[in-house]
């Protein structure tokens, strides 16, 4: 899904800077309280609210203290009351708590996310009464500065009015908690004869990686995907942004897809292209603004929002009363296509670059997230996608790909996430008539069964990889922001949803996900021989060490669990971002092509949440490679037991850690015995040990 625009907007508008190096404002003297709002904003504070919101800073009733209160109504989703301190950073080191009073109005129950720098706390005010809210500032450290405070509408819709009053920083004299003594480090165990299987190189892929990053990482696969590719027209290099940006036709550079493949050939990466199954592609390439769009205000009337910056005639397709524009004309932006459009494209690619077997495009995604078409592309596909439509379009268009290049590999159904694993868009996210009409079988499982039946009847395998997307689906985890200490801990824990059937999802899903074992079970039961792929995932904060730790853990999980292909969505463009270093630890830790092994071996930690470990044998030299990830803020001295590997006497050690975010450090060699060794892994670190065969 194209979540990137929303996340970027949130980050820009929050404008939260904690401990920044710009000018600093210090209270004249320490006091027990420092007012922010009492009848009016205190000196220096300004209203920086954003999005769909109505505010009154002089509301007369209800009020908690004084004569006035602050009234807030969220008229649209993802909006926020935000107050900022006139462009500087306010020193609040003398205070340990932000205190305010909140009133839920006549209804109450609003869901509000309070953000103070990296601190986040969700509150739900009560109806017809004032509540005191105290948020401790101690997690910000002893030298505390604040730039903004935000009360964020963390939902996609409007919310009823609520009230705030008597906002202040206060000093309660809260003692800094004494940290508990460090627990014993987890023990690590390696059995080189257990759980041996190949690690697919394609698990280290990305979407739209830059050429320098792809070269450095020896990127094995690069994906051309996302919502915009659903209507990409290879004949005129035009795409449509869909719901991500006012349903506008946007010109790509001439020969964009061909140039994408050419870059991959230069970097030695396999190409994964998305072919449209929706039956519509963007019409003739516009020369510039104004662009064609799906819901022109001049044609369909005033709408709730429009592209005021670039094309103010392009609306969001929602009427002022909140209902969607219907009965629009799809040909405003798009032309109808058939399977021949796809086969012609594949024929063009094979004539230009060769077949997949001869170095051309190897992989084709069968569109992108079809169970969201009635949202992301509702200007051309307003009706929700059903079980049967998904099957029939796959049969038609996958056959066109295979006819044009029988050696190519296809990936489907490319579903967006949890709900679409089990239900069609007709049913939404719970059992409904469409599921009932198909034997109450989970959507993905039924899809695999249909692909198997087709092969049995036609003698052609239409589907090579089962492809399912996954994002954390836990508030604050996905995105560029680091998040609070709680969010950071959840980011590291929630990687377990890829494999652990005992891990209960900590977000709205609320049950075990264990995605990769689930995928493998479905394949084994319903269409043996099908590979498993995750062509979109991102655990967030890839510009920080916390995100790098999660990313390194994910790559280790992909290899250990036997996933066949994965491509990171929205990866950093900065080659020195911590998230890129997480990949580099597996793909080029020494700058000379040094890599994690290709055969996964048995590896276990007594506490995977603290100290994760992954093991593999490298074919080039027979070396045992161990990836150890310390997810904690403390150094861990751990004993590693080694079995069934004839080892040399010392191991090479390369490490990426919070101590040096700009480089992988070649550390001193680690002594190794036949039974193992003891080593210390610094806080927040990723360590690869390369043990030569004896």
What is the per-residue pLDDT for 144? Answer: 87
- Domain span(s) for CATH 2.60.40.1180 in the chain: 188-192+599-691
More confident residue, 441 or 158: 441
Q: What angle do CA 493, 496, 497 make, to 5 degrees?
A: 115
> What pLDDT digit, counting tens, does each position of 535-583 carry?
999 999 999 999 999 999 999 999 999 999 999 999 999 999 999 999 9
Summarize the confidence of residues 32-40 as an average pLDDT. Answer: 92
List the structure tokens of 205. Answer: 């892929």
What is the per-residue pLDDT for 180? Answer: 66
Summarize the confidence of residues 293-312 as an average pLDDT. Answer: 96
What is the per-residue pLDDT for 384? Answer: 98
Summarize the confidence of residues 359-380 as an average pLDDT. Answer: 98
More confident residue, 201 or 54: 201
Q: Identify whether the C-beta of residue 213 lies closer than 8 Å to the C-beta of residue 266.
A: no
What is the per-residue pLDDT for 597? Answer: 98
Q: Is the pLDDT of residue 340 over 60?
A: yes
**Model confidence band, residue 4 (pLDDT cutoffs 50, 70, 90):** very low
Q: CATH topology for 197-282+335-587?
A: TIM Barrel (3.20.20)
* Mean pLDDT of all residues belonging to the chain: 92
What is the per-residue pLDDT for 22? Answer: 37
What is the per-residue pLDDT for 31? Answer: 59
**Model confidence band, residue 63 (pLDDT cutoffs 50, 70, 90):** very high
CATH architecture of the domain 4-170 equals Sandwich (2.60)
- Domain span(s) for CATH 2.60.120.430 in the chain: 4-170
What is the per-residue pLDDT for 125? Answer: 93
CA distance linking residue 203 with residue 197, whole number of Å: 14
Summarize the confidence of residues 240-245 as an average pLDDT. Answer: 96
What is the per-residue pLDDT for 78? Answer: 81
Instruction: Map 350-396 to HEC letters.
Output: HHHHCCHHHCCCCEEEECCCHHHHHHHCCCCCCCCCCHHHHHHHHHH
Cα distances (Å, whole numbers) of residue 464 to 215, 275, 361, 467: 27, 15, 15, 9
The region of weakest confidence among 74-83, 313-322, 352-361, 464-473 is 74-83
Cα distances (Å, whole numbers) of residue 616 to 194, 200, 622, 628: 11, 12, 10, 12
Q: Is the pLDDT of residue 336 over 90?
A: yes
Summarize the confidence of residues 224-230 as an average pLDDT. Answer: 97
The region of weakest confidence among 144-148, 310-314, 426-430, 445-449 is 144-148
More confident residue, 183 or 219: 219
- Domain span(s) for CATH 3.20.20.80 in the chain: 197-282+335-587
Q: Is the pLDDT of residue 595 over 50?
A: yes
**Model confidence band, residue 415 (pLDDT cutoffs 50, 70, 90):** very high
> What pLDDT digit, counting tens, does each position of 481-497 carry?
999 999 999 999 999 99
Q: Is the pLDDT of residue 3 over 50?
A: no
b/e code 177-206 from CB counts within 10 Å (16+ = b): eeeeeeeebbebbbbbeeeeeebbbbbbbb
Q: CATH topology for 188-192+599-691?
A: Immunoglobulin-like (2.60.40)
CA distance linking residue 668 with residue 655, whole number of Å: 10
> What pLDDT digit, counting tens, does each position of 179-204 carry?
666 678 999 999 999 999 999 999 99
Strands 24-25, 89-91: pairing is parallel
**Model confidence band, residue 25 (pLDDT cutoffs 50, 70, 90):** low
Summarize the confidence of residues 157-170 as an average pLDDT. Answer: 93
| Neighbouring residues of 162: CB distance < 8 A, sequence distance ≥ 6 | 71, 72, 73, 102, 103, 104, 105, 108, 110, 112, 125
Q: Is the pLDDT of residue 667 over 60?
A: yes
What is the per-residue pLDDT for 192? Answer: 96
Q: Identify whether the C-beta of residue 540 lies closer than 8 Å to the C-beta of residue 478.
A: yes
Distance of CA 24 to the CA centre of its chain: 34
Q: Is the pLDDT of residue 17 over 70?
A: no
Q: Is the pLDDT of residue 522 over 70?
A: yes
> What pLDDT digit, counting tens, does each position of 376-389 carry?
999 999 999 999 99
Summarize the confidence of residues 166-170 as an average pLDDT. Answer: 94
> What pLDDT digit, counting tens, does each position of 597-639 carry?
999 999 999 999 999 999 999 999 999 999 999 999 999 999 9
What is the per-residue pLDDT for 275? Answer: 98
Summarize the confidence of residues 661-674 as an average pLDDT. Answer: 97
> What pLDDT digit, counting tens, does each position of 270-280 carry?
999 999 999 99
The region of weakest confidence among 6-10, 325-329, 408-412, 507-511 is 6-10
**Model confidence band, residue 24 (pLDDT cutoffs 50, 70, 90):** low
Summarize the confidence of residues 674-678 as an average pLDDT. Answer: 96
What is the per-residue pLDDT for 464? Answer: 98
**Model confidence band, residue 89 (pLDDT cutoffs 50, 70, 90):** confident
More confident residue, 175 or 69: 69
CB atoms within 10 A of CB 44: 13
Summarize the confidence of residues 407-436 as an average pLDDT. Answer: 97
Share of the chain above pLDDT 70, in %: 94
Using a cut of 0.85, tell me whether the model's pTM lies above it: no
């Amino acid at each position: 899904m194209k979540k990137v625009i929303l996340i970027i907007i949130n980050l820009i508008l929050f404008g939260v800077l904690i401990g920044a190096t710009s000018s600093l404002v210090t209270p004249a003297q320490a006091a027990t309280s420092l007012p922010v709002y009492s009848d009016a904003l205190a000196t220096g504070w300004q209203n920086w609210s954003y999005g769909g919101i109505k505010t009154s800073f002089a509301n007369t009733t209800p009020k908690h203290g004084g004569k006035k209160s602050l009234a807030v109504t969220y008229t649209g989703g993802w909006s926020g009351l935000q107050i900022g301190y006139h462009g500087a950073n306010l020193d609040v080191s003398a205070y340990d708590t932000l205190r305010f009073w909140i009133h839920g109005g006549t209804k109450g129950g609003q869901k509000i996310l309070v953000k103070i720098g990296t601190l986040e706390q969700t509150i739900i005010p009560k109806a017809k009464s004032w509540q005191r809210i105290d948020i401790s500032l101690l997690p910000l450290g002893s030298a505390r500065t604040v730039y903004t405070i935000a009360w964020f509408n963390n939902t996609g819709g409007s919310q009823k009015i609520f009230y705030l009053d008597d906002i202040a920083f206060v000093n309660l004299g809260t003692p800094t908690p004494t940290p508990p003594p460090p627990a014993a480090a987890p023990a690590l165990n390696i059995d080189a004869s257990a759980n041996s299987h190949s690690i697919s190189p394609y698990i280290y892929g990305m979407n739209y990686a830059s050429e320098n990053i792809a070269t450095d990482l020896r990127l094995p696969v690069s994906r051309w995907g996302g919502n915009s590719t659903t209507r990409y027209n290879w004949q005129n290099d035009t795409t449509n942004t869909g719901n991500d940006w006012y349903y506008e036709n946007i010109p790509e550079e001439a020969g964009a897809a061909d140039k994408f493949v050419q870059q991959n050939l230069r970097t030695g990466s396999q190409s994964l292209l998305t072919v449209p199954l929706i039956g519509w592609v963007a019409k003739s390439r516009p020369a510039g603004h104004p662009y064609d769009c799906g819901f022109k205000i001049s044609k369909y009337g005033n709408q709730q929002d429009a592209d005021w910056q670039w094309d103010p005639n392009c609306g969001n397709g929602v009427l002022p009363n909140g209902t969607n524009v219907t009965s629009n004309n799809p040909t405003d932006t798009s032309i109808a296509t058939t399977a021949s459009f796809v086969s012609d494209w594949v024929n063009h690619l094979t004539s230009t670059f060769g077949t997949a077997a001869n170095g051309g495009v190897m992989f084709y995604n069968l569109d992108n997230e079809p169970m969201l078409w009635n949202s992301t592309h509702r200007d051309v596909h307003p009706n929700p996608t059903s079980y049967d439509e998904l099957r029939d379009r796959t049969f038609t268009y996958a056959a066109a790909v295979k006819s044009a290049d029988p050696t190519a590999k296809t990936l489907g159904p490319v579903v967006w996430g949890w709900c679409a694993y089990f239900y069609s868009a007709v049913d939404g996210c719970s059992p409904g008539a469409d599921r009932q009409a198909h034997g109450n079988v989970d959507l993905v499982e039924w899809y695999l069964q249909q692909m198997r039946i087709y092969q049995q009847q036609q003698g052609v395998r239409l589907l090579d990889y089962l492809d399912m997307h996954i994002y954390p689906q836990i508030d604050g985890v996905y995105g560029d922001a680091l998040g609070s200490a709680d969010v950071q801990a959840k980011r590291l824990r929630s990687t377990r949803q890829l494999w652990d059937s005992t891990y209960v999802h900590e977000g709205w899903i609320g049950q075990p996900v264990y995605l990769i074992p689930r995928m493998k079970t479905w394949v084994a039961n319903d269409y043996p021989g099908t590979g498993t792929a995750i062509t979109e995932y991102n655990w967030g904060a890839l510009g920080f060490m916390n995100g790098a730790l999660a990313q390194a853990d994910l790559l280790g999980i992909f290899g250990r669990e036997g996933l066949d292909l994965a491509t990171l969505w929205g990866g950093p463009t900065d080659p020195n971002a911590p998230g890129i270093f997480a990949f580099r630890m597996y793909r080029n830790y020494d700058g000379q092509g040094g890599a994690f092994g290709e055969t996964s071996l048995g590896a276990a930690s007594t506490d995977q949440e603290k100290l994760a470990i992954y093991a593999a044998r490298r074919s080039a030299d027979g070396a045992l490679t161990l990836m150890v990830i310390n997810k904690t803020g403390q150094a861990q001295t751990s004993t590693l037991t080694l079995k069934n590997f004839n080892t040399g006497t010392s191991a090479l050690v390369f490490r990426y850690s919070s101590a040096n975010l700009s480089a992988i450090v070649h550390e001193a060699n680690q002594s190794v015995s036949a039974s193992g060794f003891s080593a210390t892994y610094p806080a927040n670190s990723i360590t690869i040990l390369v043990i030569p065969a004896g």
